Homo-oligomer: A and B are copies of this chain.
Amino acid sequence: MQLMDGSFVAQQIKEELAHEVLTRKSKGMKIPHLAAVLVGEDGASLTYVSSKVKSCEQIGFGSTLIQLPESVSQSQLIEEIEKLNKNQDIDGYIIQLPLPAHINEKAVLMHVSPDKDVDGFHPECIGKMALGMDTFLPATPAGIIELIKRYQIETAGKNCVVVGRSHIVGMPISLLMQRNAYPGNATVTTLHSKSSNIKEVCAQADILIVAIGKPGYVTADMVKEGAVVIDVGITRVADDAKKSGFRIAGDVDFHSVAHKCSWITPVPGGVGPMTIASLLINTMKSVQLKEK
């Protein structure tokens, strides 16, 4: 078994981007600038956003954190978004999800300009991705693709099983893994809550990608000997042994599964850091697209 070390690869990507920033600076070119909008004070959301902002600072990107109160109205939030759309200095921005219950998430995300949607959630981005056109890929699926590429995992003709059909991970990674490209060209089966024979189908996967948010869901009996296992789960589980009172758990029962795999992503330190790296890649891409 070998680890697909997302922390290591993400660090590598950050160094490459930092180098690119320096080159751009020396040539007097625009420095990429990422903004993040955070509504309310949810602890997990604050942690994620802070980590994104910190990553920008590490590599020399500009970054702006816009914090809005939990009580912000939908129209006020949309106003902020319109400002970001118009702001020439902002190359990309993200709205940290989830939003408070009184705000219609889908309606809000429709206002994000597809040109600055570095999360790749806008229908136009998803549609372009599905049609194999150049666009911002959604950050987590893009991170998985990058990880597969950097570890040179063979995908063509492989049996790839995706567990989960969420709009931000399962659905897009299914499309990316079956597109005519590398990584891609896999035979993809997507499993979800209405699927039967989940165990049997998983056990046939050469590449198993799990994104359902159920800690420890995938056990050794569901994994084929030699499979590549990619764990997208990132759930906070109560843990008295930790100072924070919780630990981060993946969807895969790592300890029982790992020894059967050829490659496996750990949690934390697997797909998570790659998601942030994708955001940074998309932000750099946004600047470069404007220069074309």
Interface residues, chain A, with chain B CB atoms under 8 Å away: 106, 122-128, 130-133, 135, 156-157, 159, 165, 167, 171-172, 175, 178-180, 185-192, 194-197, 201
**What's the number of copies of this chain in the assembled complex?**
2
Known A126-B127, A167-B130; judge A188-B187 contact (CB<8 A).
Answer: no
Q: How far is the CA of A257 from the CA of B210 in the complex (A)?
A: 36
| Cβ–Cβ contact B123 & A167, under 8 A | no
Chain B residues, Cβ within 8 Å of A159: 197
Distance in angstroms from A206 CB to nearest chain B CB is 10
Subset of 15 A-B contacts with CB under 8 Å: A106-B131, A122-B127, A123-B123, A123-B124, A123-B128, A126-B127, A127-B127, A127-B128, A127-B130, A157-B196, A180-B194, A185-B192, A185-B194, A187-B191, A187-B192
Distance in angstroms from A174 CB to nearest chain B CB is 8
Q: Which of A123, A130, A175 has the most CB of B within 10 A?
A: A123
Contacting A131 at CB < 8 Å: which of B132, B167, B178? B167
Chain B residues, Cβ within 8 Å of A194: 156-157, 180, 185-187
| Cβ–Cβ contact B191 & A190, under 8 A | no
Chain B residues, Cβ within 8 Å of A165: 178-180
| Cβ–Cβ contact A157 & B195, under 8 A | yes
Chain B residues, Cβ within 8 Å of A172: 130
Q: How far is the CA of A122 from the CA of B114 in the complex (A)?
A: 14
Distance in angstroms from A280 CB to nearest chain B CB is 23
Q: Which of A128, A172, A186, A188 has the most CB of B within 10 A?
A: A188
